[in-house]
Structure 1
Amino acid sequence: MNSNDKKCVDVNVSAHMGECENVPVPVAPTTPVGTRVLRVPVTLAEIAVRTNMVANIKFPDPVLEIKDIKKRVKIIQCRLLLPGITAGSNPFQATTLRLFIKGFVRKNIQYATPCPNSSGQCVSSEMRSLTVDVPFECVTTIPANRFLTPPQLPFVNTRQEFDFFREQELGHGYPEKDHLLSSDLSQFHQVSTQFYNQLPYCELISSNIIEWDEAIDREKLPGHAPFEEGAFHEVVEKMFLEFTVKILQNQQVPVTAVAPPPTPPL
């Protein structure tokens, strides 16, 4: 092989792919038959969120026309606000909760910009693109009856102080039979309890966007360009955004373990 040839695969020679055989193997040991408790993601709710957006978008170049716009929804915060409850209470209480959502709509705008000195009857142009993030933020209320499974509410941490009785002498100027009966200020005693609760999280399922863009500074091209041709730098955009999110939380779920199927003969 030539030392100057850096190719490690000769594309002029095809590599034959043969057929591979497979055989069944015995099933790995499984848990005995019976009821088991698993910690798995549980779907709390699946909701469609709707919001409206308005934005001004400025282009770095004059825009003859917009060719295409590709959009993608990006969620950066989806937080279900849960109230804390005391230990020993029912953590699966059905209650109305609020979901805080924050994100962006990423837009890649492909547009044609007139070439310099393009003022004749034929207008030549170049294809360019502009990528922008249009932010949105909202809060939506989820009624108690909308939850497929109630979320497990977090237990609140507790801190409790306690003291010990102490008898102390009063010192000079007090009768010997008198004493100070109180707790000791030089000591501090506390019992604290922390709970490490499971935080709900979201998954983005789908999105739907209806938009309307309108140029607000369009001017006719100079020179002898066709009268209907013009360029602009700024558009006003109005969007109706709808997306579906699934809210989940890791919870303990009882399941029934069954015997594995018999291994087929070789």
Structure 2
Amino acid sequence: MSDQLSNQNPPCPVSSVEQIPLNSANTPVVSTPIATPIVKIPVVLSEPTLQIVVESDITLNPAATEIKRVKKNVFLNQVKLVPVRFTRIAGTDFFRVTRAKLFVAGHIRKNIEYASAECNGALRDRIADVPFSGFADLTFPQEAGGPTPILGISEFAEANFLNENTQLDARLDKAFFQNLVKYNEQPFGELVAANFFELDFSPIMTRPEGTFSTLREKIVLELTVKVLQVQQIRLAAGSVVTPVLSALTPPASTVITPPTNLC
């Protein structure tokens, strides 16, 4: 028993530093009332769940005898909103989008762990990207009184002139142009959730100890995304909160009395 203890390696030393506890206290704040402030923030226009159906064949090398685990993640390459119907905002030259097409594209990253035909062999790993793309029809607002995409439409105007000598033909060498270009906030998307339903099988049925080199996958992906646009929003009456930090410039309301007994 003593020989066994003497042959054991001692544990590796680990350096550590003891942390010094710090005091923590809430910073007092002062609220300044503001009537209906305007803020510019991302506004959620829609949060659809899209059903995407994909079928693919994945080659396994070396061949597999059994699938152990399949881990999946989704990556989006684009979430683009294309407006197709508008209504003018009363009293302005801007428009609300009432209908649009949402284009979505990306890929499913699959990590497949499987056993090969080797006796007592290590688990094999196969990573594959399964692409997908499609579109969905969206109407706005999603609920009564809800937000919609807002766009300003650029305009182009041209004025042409008569020949001032004859007053009978046009002057092709003279024209007036006017361009109004409005730069809009681009609607964008955010990934929220992905729910996978999947059936994996070999296209050719094999015996229990047989091998297969092709894995056919039928995937139903329920993909939830947010569609947003940065907009200016007028809030209800609120307040601006500022911290009160001691030992700095005293508040303006403080009155400092000068000394009276001056030599």
**Could you say whether these structures have the same fold, taking a TM-score greater than 0.5 normalized by the shorter chain as the test?**
yes
Question: For the residues of structure 2 that align with 1:96 and 1:163, how far apart are their CA atoms?
Answer: 37
Q: What displacement does 1:129 show?
A: 0.7
Distance change (3 Å), C-alpha of 1:145 and 1:262: closer
The 1:111–1:12 alpha-carbon spacing in structure 2 relative to 1, beyond 3 Å, is same
CA shift, 1:53, in A, is 1.6
- Could you tell me which of 228, 239, 247 is aligned with 1:248? 228
Aligned with 1:140 (options 127, 131, 136): 136
User: CA shift at 1:96, angstroms?
Assistant: 3.2
**Aligned Cα root-mean-square deviation (Å):** 3.1
Which residue is 1:200 aligned to? 187
Q: 1:191-217 CA distances to partner (integer Å, 9 max, x unpaired)?
A: 011111122111111111111111124
Equivalence for 2:79: 78
Tell me which protein shows more strand as a share of its residues.
2
Q: 1:132 to 1:74 in 2, by over 3 A?
A: same
Q: How many residues are treated as equivalent by the alignment? A: 231
Cα distance in 2 between the residues matched to 1:262 and 1:194: 42
Cα separation, 2, equivalents of 1:140 and 1:96: 11
Which residue matches 2:164?
A: 167
Which residue in 1 is equivalent to 2:239? 258
Deviation for aligned residue 1:157: 1.7
Superposed displacement of residue 140, structure 1: 1.6
Match of 2:22 in 1: 20
Q: How far apart in 1 are the matches of 2:140 and 2:148?
A: 10
SS in structure 2 opposite 1:21? coil
Cα gap change, 1:12 to 1:138, in 2 (>3 Å): closer
TM-score, with length taken from structure 2 = 0.75
C-alpha deviations, 1:56-94, integer Å up to 9, x for none? 11112111211111100112121222137579456236x
What's the offset of the Cα at 1:32? 5.4
Q: 1:84 to 1:240 in 2, by over 3 A?
A: closer
Runs of 5+ unmatched residues, structure 1: 1-9, 116-122, 169-178, 221-227
Equivalent residues of 2:94, 2:153 under 8 A apart? no
> Aligned letter for 1:216?
P
User: Structure 1 residues 259, 102: CA separation in 2 closer, same or farther (over 3 Å shift)?
Assistant: closer
Which one of 108, 123, 129 corresponds to residue 127 of structure 1?
Answer: 123
Label 1:48 to 1:151 Cα distance change in 2 as closer, same or farther (>3 A).
same
Q: CA deviation at 1:48?
A: 1.4
For structure 2, list consecutive stretches of 5 or more residues without a partner in the other structure.
1-11, 248-263
SS for the counterpart of 1:18 is coil
- Alignment partner, residue 236 of structure 1: 216
- Output the CA distance in 2 between the equivalents of 1:59 and 1:197: 48
TM superposition shift of 1:159: 1.3
Secondary structure, counterpart of 2:16 in structure 1: coil
Q: Matched residues in 1 for 2:53 and 2:13: separation? A: 53
**TM-score scaled by length of structure 1:** 0.75
Identity of aligned residues (%): 27
User: Which residue matches 2:151?
Assistant: 154
Residues 84 and 153 in structure 1, CA contact (< 8 A), matched pair in contact too: no
Measure, in 2, the Cα distance between the counterparts of 1:245 and 1:167: 61
- Deviations along 1:79-136, one digit per CA (max 9) or x if unpaired, are 222137579456236x233211112111010112223xxxxxxx33222211111112
CA distance in 1, matches of 2:116, 2:32: 66
Correspondence 1:106 to 2:109: yes
Map 1:178-193; keep pairs closer than 5 Å.
Answer: 179=166, 182-193=169-180
The 1:241–1:84 alpha-carbon spacing in structure 2 relative to 1, beyond 3 Å, is closer
Partner residue of 1:65? 66
Letter in 1 for 2:72: K
- AA aligned to 1:55 is S
Provide the secondary structure at the position in 2 that maps to 1:91: strand
